[in-house]
Amino acid sequence: MELQRAIPAAPAQSVAWELTRVASFVGMRVLAWADEVLYASRGYTLLRAQPNAAGASWEVVARFHPAWWRTL
């Protein structure tokens, strides 16, 4: 079996990305986007919202109740 040498690829063109803060939700951790729905957590509660120009109305998707020793 003959060894094949790797052909170096051309360097990728640099793409400049820029982040812009659109909103801030205190005490929440954003988890994912799915289509137009934003999922976030606050402690052991999973929330979702459909943000628009008027803001975001959060609704509870699920709650987890950990063992007592996890809340110490």
Pick 42 or 11 by higher pLDDT.
42
What DSSP element (H or E) covers 60? strand 59-63
- Which pLDDT score is estimated for 6? 66
- Confidence bin at 4 (pLDDT 50/70/90): low
Mean pLDDT over residues 27-46, rounded?
92
Closest-CA residue to 45 (of 28, 31, 62, 29): 62
**pLDDT at residue 71 in the model:** 72
| Whole-structure pTM value | 0.63
- Whether the pLDDT of residue 1 is over 60: the answer is no
Structure tokens at 65: 């109740």
